[in-house]
Structure 1
Amino acid sequence: MLQTKTYPISALPLPPSTRILTRNLTPDPQTPSVSSFYDTLSRTPSLQCKAWLLAPHAHFSLVVPCPQPFPYRIPLPENGEPIADRAAYVEKWLADREALHERPTAASPTSGLRDCVPHLKVSDVFATLGSPSLARASTDPNPETAKPSSVSEEDTAAREELIDVLSGYAVLLSTDGDPETHWAPWSLCYSGHQFGVWAGQLGDGRAISVLSTPHPSDPDLIYELQLKGAGRTPFSRNGDGLAVVRSSIREYLCSEAMHALSIPTTCSLSLISLSELPVARECMESACVLTRMAPSFIRIVSFEALNPLEGTSVFRIGQQDTHWEGLRVLGEWVVHRVLKFEGLQWRGEGVEHGDPWGTKLVLEVVRRNAKMVAAWQAYGFMHGVINADNVSVLGLTISYGPFVFMDVFDPFHICNHTDDEGRYSYKLQPFMIIYALRVLLTALSPIIGAEAELHRAVFAGWAEDASPDKLAEWRKKGSELVKDEMERIAQDICSAEYGRLMHKASRVRLALRRFDATDELRLAHPLFNLMSEHEHDFHSTFRQPAFFCPTMAEGSFDSATGPALGEYISGILSSASEQQRLD
């Protein structure tokens, strides 16, 4: 097998221009290009640290990492001299903190490298950390007697560059040559509801995508590398844009576990500790930058930002007006480059009028998220915050917060202590995913209605001359055309995928030798009822059937002829909590 050629992070291949988000969606007009962003950053670095509303048509803002405590505590000059220009003093203070700093790598999983970016040169990172294994290799723990490893200057430079970029203390930014080759990191804009309440503009408040690169074995598969916790962005509002070690480790470990279980998820690449950077939470903690990867980090509420519910700006300050052209541009990008529909004709590719895509987009996002939440239920995963801004268009598990895996089974378990109403309890997760997907349909319903009337894709300026009554007509028609089908597909796919994981597939959950349509009613429901009634451990209970032999049923629990059955039943009961264990 040919060995994959590896590159330092700054030399990783970039996708073609047509596949790069920042060259096809609309930037914040305050910094409309990489060169203008660089000029602005050179003069006023505080600009990107301020929170503001993006223009209605903008999809993203260019940013660079700046991991600093917030609110900023800017000291007075040590010599006591008066500050003649306070604004200039602040800008210089921020600019001085854009210098490079070396930081130790805390973790770097082999699975993320193998599956997403096998062409990334990590140099001697694993020689420093040690390769992950169940049994640690014997090494000399004494640094004075241990033999130094042979590491070239090239490898050392690649490792240091990798650490600097993934810690947020260096930036991949290029302004030389052809503007088509310029590059800068970005954060996405989106708006939406949180716990059912309109929250206005949200956006990537502590997430910065620093790079996208095609997979070496499949150029059409492009992965974004995104830093979480690398400082403020224009979407941070009152937040500091930072992440702490505790929560970063939780996301790192859980995303790896979810990936191993084949549950759709973002993947981890690295954890880098910024131990000297304090972060104020319930108590003072240390900062950490997590790098995660996905083909796209676009969420369904990116559409809601461009077509918010009517009247939301009246009740909540902090939301742009509707922008129909921005909605069309984003939709075409998602359908064409993110979801990658096959057989769909596109305007401009030798075709005068493209095929309608609005309905296809909604239903595909529904399918993906229905499969994802079915896997959550089968494996007892509880997300905790299924706000629409945490729902991916690719159906990936994203934004790991107060998640847990079920232990003692309780279908009404609430893992988020701020979820007073139990909105995101285990039992309600499938319904909350559907609730979130209705947001996507609401945002795209005018396009769906217009395409149904036109019998083709909407075009540039499609809504410019439309009256409010016509827009309302399109909105109503689009919703009526898709709503029932959307909810039916969500329920059918979720049920089918849950059944596959619970009953049909080998090596998962019950793993029955044959499948019967009555299995759910005759086997699964009674099992869950027993688990709930007797407070059995969710995962141990599913493991126990692996130790059952049919010959055990020939004896009885009380009979001396059936000790194996008695031991088996005792083993099942031992997973019950002490308070509710059966007599």
Structure 2
Amino acid sequence: MPKLPISALPLPTSARILTHNLTPDTATALIASAFRDVLKESPSIQRRSRLLDSGCHFSRVTPLPLEFPYRIAPPEDGKEVEDKEEYVENWLSSHEPLEERSLASTPSPGVLKKYSCAKRDGMERILIGLSDTCLRDCFPHLAVGDAFVELDTPTLSMKDPGGNDLFETPRRKVAGDQAAARQELVDVLSGHSVLMSIDGSEPGYTPWSLRYSGHQFGTWAGQLGDGRAVSILETPHPTSPCLSYELQLKGAGRTPFARSADGLAVLRSSIREYLCAEAMHALHIPTTRSLALVHLPKLEVYREEVETACVLTRVAPSFLRIGSFEALNPPERQRMVFYGGGGQQDANWDALRVLGEWVAGPGVLNLGLKEGEKWGKALVFESARRNARMVAGWQVYGFMHGVINTDNVSVMGLTIDYGPYAFMDIYDPMHICNHSDSEGRYAYKFQPTMIVFALNALLRSLAPLIGAEEELGSAVKSGWAADASPEKLEEWRAKGLSLEAELKAEIERVFEEEHWKLYRKRLGLTELNPSDPDELIHPLLALMRDYKLDFHSTFRKLCFFRPSKFNDPESSKAFIENLLVPSTSFEGDKEKAIKDLIEWLQKFATRISAEVKTAEDEEKREKAMLRANPRFILRQWLLEEIIKRVQDDVHVGKRALAKVHEMATKPFEPWGAELKVSEDSLTPEEKEERRYCGMGSTKMLGFQCSCSS
């Protein structure tokens, strides 16, 4: 298929474009062409924290990664400013993308034009990460030019096979179309240049940020929204045109939802999300994706300390959340209770209908309903099933999200908003990965419960509409609640909320089914045996907890367990002692631990023998387990190390970052020459790979990350 620069990527049909089907913020222009006037005359409206009109779903906004509060210098001639408001608007306008720029060479330019401005040209922007896996899966038609040449060879060791130091290798100079395509990609994905259609040919196209509300740590927070995320483009997959992907810049500057924040993201948190989203996809857990990282080294960001900015490009078919629905029908009794939010509008029943029809349709969930068919209940239950399967994957692979607020839960059942996440080290079902979660609301054990809470919030938001549809026997239409009395609305709400028990049961059913299926896969079991949870899986997890075994390496070691060799005392003893050798020194009753492990392994051997009859079967089982149990996992210690390597020297660190990305996207490979016993025969690179597959320093076990990013 032909490769196209980012400016030439096609848009979906109008029926699949979010901004053509949902309602824009009236203050930032109802139609795209009017947005040009906003950028010229009143650009502050898109940066000013405010409540949007109750019927709006999104606000038009351009990326603008700048320090905040903005450093607006007085006039150079020293004259006093008479109209300060006008002066500020002019200053902001001078930073808006109003100058049309030439496109990267292409035989078929797209419908969008590229805009920037002279004030943005001084922004230093360095591409430090580009995901080949996201490109392959989502944008196989995107031309990235010589981007991978710029990023250089992935490596951890920075030493050649002879142990000599490697310095940054001279880049192969690439000219012409290759360099132009790469530079355009970096410009657009850094927020320097903006792709728009604002020349008057409606419906046009502009970037946008979503409005949503939500519950944060169980407390109603009012309007939240994309405070530092700007969606810049949608494009259909070239071989599956019914599937479109949305590109969103995280850390691209303030929006109307930024509240008192700067709208930026730091290098540290951007690296964490960039790596983890692709790692989760490699583990077959539903997730948003990561495309690129662009470092802005001259842009300072103030958190606990002064850091530098970075823009992450993340990708999903849709970034709509449960909070998108909560914004349109907030909980009455909690209307005035806010946890970091900025107030809340009243319910808007027609905006709720419009959003629901969009989500139920081909643009998002694609429920396949006929025209006029009820969709409210179907939407809630489909979102519930998707989220149940997602959280089952979290639990089986020891992933902890850290902040499962309702504004961080995708209606599509995608893992979204990677903040203080962690993967389990020593198995502890009560582990809390977010140091801001003092009460342990989002501890590993409670994650399925929190997904039930989030889906109940979705049901509560749609309950009156679901009740109205039940009464009508068909989908509601425009103005469906305009003449409804408070009593009628309450009647509809009660009818919708009567589904709570059924919803909870459906989430639990799907979760249990997926949960035990994935655990059987990790244990190499292909046949469904109802006794497996009680006889094998729960007891194994209890052994991990009681004897402080590493969650991931234990499963990986079990890949090499052969029942046929278990009767050999020497082999079985060596295998069991190997299970008890995580990098934490085991100080418990070793004899009891060995006895308990032998007892469990005997049950495991008996269960395997029911399926495995020959040596060939054993080989197949081992290979299947190796494809289900990662050798490499994104542990906290290595994330901290790779972040520091990039912070210390971005040009060298990006090569190590690329190698960690490669390992994270191929987690089942035998990194570090896994089966070699002696390290003497390993290359410097293999030694580093092996180290990165280990548990690291005991000081980092149970490390809790901050929400600050």
Instruction: Report the counterpart of residue 180 of structure 2 in structure 1.
Output: 157
Residue pairs, 1:187-266, within 5 angstroms? 187-266=209-288
Aligned-residue offset at 1:103:
1.7
Alignment partner of 2:296 out of 274, 279, 286: 274
Aligned-residue offset at 1:267:
0.6
Instruction: Report the counterpart of residue 358 of structure 2 in structure 1.
Output: 333
Residue type at the aligned position of 1:355 = E
Q: Which secondary structure state, in structure 2, belongs to the residue aligned with residue 495 of structure 1?
A: helix
Aligned-residue offset at 1:147:
7.7
CA distance in 1, matches of 2:185, 2:252: 15
Alignment partner of 2:67 out of 69, 81, 98: 69
Judging changes above 3 Å, is the alpha-carbon distance between structure 1 residues 499 and 266 closer, same or farther for their aligned structure 2 residues?
Answer: same
Aligned-residue offset at 1:136:
9.5
CA distance in 2, matches of 1:394, 1:194: 20
Instruction: Report the counterpart of residue 349 of structure 1 in structure 2.
Output: none
Alignment partner of 2:45 out of 32, 44, 47: 47
Judging changes above 3 Å, is the alpha-carbon distance between structure 1 residues 315 and 121 closer, same or farther for their aligned structure 2 residues?
Answer: same
Instruction: Report the counterpart of residue 114 of structure 1 in structure 2.
Output: 136
Instruction: Report the counterpart of residue 623 of structure 2 in structure 1.
Output: none
Aligned-residue offset at 1:154:
2.1
Instruction: Report the counterpart of residue 515 of structure 1 in structure 2.
Output: 528
Deviations 1:399-434 (Å, cap 9, x if unpaired)? 000000000110000001011110000000000000
CA distance in 1, matches of 2:172, 2:336: 66
Alignment partner of 1:571 out of 578, 582, 588: 578
Instruction: Report the counterpart of residue 617 of structure 2 in structure 1.
Output: none
Alignment partner of 2:403 out of 381, 385, 396: 385
CA distance in 2, matches of 1:221, 1:90: 42
Could you tell which deviates more after superposition, 105-114 or 333-342? 333-342
Residue type at the aligned position of 1:487 = K
Judging changes above 3 Å, is the alpha-carbon distance between structure 1 residues 12 and 570 closer, same or farther for their aligned structure 2 residues?
Answer: same
Instruction: Report the counterpart of residue 502 of structure 2 in structure 1.
Output: 485
Aligned-residue offset at 1:109:
0.9
Residue pairs, 1:82-101, within 5 angstroms? 82-98=80-96, 99=117, 100-101=120-121
Instruction: Report the counterpart of residue 183 of structure 1 in structure 2.
Output: 205
Judging changes above 3 Å, is the alpha-carbon distance between structure 1 residues 72 and 334 closer, same or farther for their aligned structure 2 residues?
Answer: same
Instruction: Report the counterpart of residue 559 of structure 2 in structure 1.
Output: 546
Contact 1:41 1:47 in 2 (8 A): no
CA distance in 1, matches of 2:448, 2:581: 31
Residue type at the aligned position of 1:164 = D
Q: Does 1:170 align with 2:193?
A: yes
Contact 1:536 1:576 in 2 (8 A): no
Contact 2:266 2:308 in 1 (8 A): yes
Residue pairs, 1:271-420, within 5 angstroms? 271-316=293-338, 318-341=343-366, 343-346=368-371, 354-420=372-438
Aligned-residue offset at 1:543:
1.2
Aligned-residue offset at 1:44:
2.0
CA distance in 2, matches of 1:404, 1:9: 33
Q: Which secondary structure state, in structure 2, belongs to the residue aligned with residue 18 of structure 1?
A: helix
Contact 2:336 2:343 in 1 (8 A): no
Instruction: Report the counterpart of residue 550 of structure 2 in structure 1.
Output: 537
Deviations 1:210-267 (Å, cap 9, x if unpaired)? 0000000011000000000000000001111100000000001111100111100011
Q: Does 1:524 align with 2:524?
A: no
Judging changes above 3 Å, is the alpha-carbon distance between structure 1 residues 524 and 405 closer, same or farther for their aligned structure 2 residues?
Answer: same
CA distance in 1, matches of 2:81, 2:366: 59
Contact 1:534 1:576 in 2 (8 A): no
Q: Which secondary structure state, in structure 2, belongs to the residue aligned with residue 374 of structure 1?
A: helix
Contact 1:44 1:91 in 2 (8 A): yes
CA distance in 2, matches of 1:34, 1:551: 69
Aligned-residue offset at 1:64:
0.1
Q: Does 1:438 align with 2:463?
A: no
Aligned-residue offset at 1:177:
4.6
Aligned-residue offset at 1:565:
1.3
Gaps of 5+ in 1: 347-353, 556-561
Deviations 1:118-139 (Å, cap 9, x if unpaired)? 1111111012113658999989
Contact 1:573 1:582 in 2 (8 A): no
Q: Does 1:6 align with 2:3?
A: yes
Residue type at the aligned position of 1:567 = A
User: Sequence identity, in percent?
Assistant: 54
Contact 2:150 2:171 in 1 (8 A): no
CA distance in 2, matches of 1:183, 1:512: 51
Alignment partner of 2:469 out of 451, 455, 479: 451
Deviations 1:323-365 (Å, cap 9, x if unpaired)? 000000000000013444454111xxxxxxx010101000000
Could you tell which deviates more after superposition, 542-551 or 460-469? 542-551
Residue type at the aligned position of 2:434 = N
Gaps of 5+ in 2: 97-116, 591-709
CA distance in 1, matches of 2:311, 2:90: 25
Aligned-residue offset at 1:580:
3.7
Contact 2:138 2:237 in 1 (8 A): yes
Instruction: Report the counterpart of residue 500 of structure 1 in structure 2.
Output: 517
CA distance in 2, matches of 1:323, 1:24: 17
Aligned-residue offset at 1:79:
4.4
Q: Does 1:27 align with 2:49?
A: no
Aligned-residue offset at 1:438:
0.3
Contact 2:187 2:193 in 1 (8 A): yes
Q: Which secondary structure state, in structure 2, belongs to the residue aligned with residue 554 of structure 1?
A: coil
Judging changes above 3 Å, is the alpha-carbon distance between structure 1 residues 360 and 131 closer, same or farther for their aligned structure 2 residues?
Answer: farther
Contact 2:125 2:186 in 1 (8 A): yes
Instruction: Report the counterpart of residue 559 of structure 1 in structure 2.
Output: none
Residue type at the aligned position of 1:33 = I
Contact 2:219 2:337 in 1 (8 A): no
The TM-score with structure 1 as length reference comes to 0.92
Count of residue pairs brought into register by the alignment: 559
Residue type at the aligned position of 1:330 = L
Judging changes above 3 Å, is the alpha-carbon distance between structure 1 residues 544 and 97 closer, same or farther for their aligned structure 2 residues?
Answer: same
- Taking only aligned residues, the RMSD between alpha carbons, in angstroms, comes to 2.1
Residue type at the aligned position of 1:548 = F
Contact 2:317 2:364 in 1 (8 A): no
CA distance in 2, matches of 1:142, 1:417: 38
Judging changes above 3 Å, is the alpha-carbon distance between structure 1 residues 517 and 467 closer, same or farther for their aligned structure 2 residues?
Answer: same
Q: Which secondary structure state, in structure 2, belongs to the residue aligned with residue 220 of structure 1?
A: coil
Q: Which secondary structure state, in structure 1, belongs to the residue aligned with residue 26 of structure 2?
A: coil
Instruction: Report the counterpart of residue 16 of structure 1 in structure 2.
Output: 13
Aligned-residue offset at 1:91:
2.1
Q: Which secondary structure state, in structure 1, belongs to the residue aligned with residue 319 of structure 2?
A: coil
CA distance in 2, matches of 1:334, 1:433: 19
Residue type at the aligned position of 1:23 = H
Higher relative contact order (Cα pairs below 8 Å, separated by 6+ residues) = 2
CA distance in 1, matches of 2:62, 2:491: 43
CA distance in 2, matches of 1:519, 1:136: 46
Q: Which secondary structure state, in structure 2, belongs to the residue aligned with residue 306 of structure 1?
A: coil
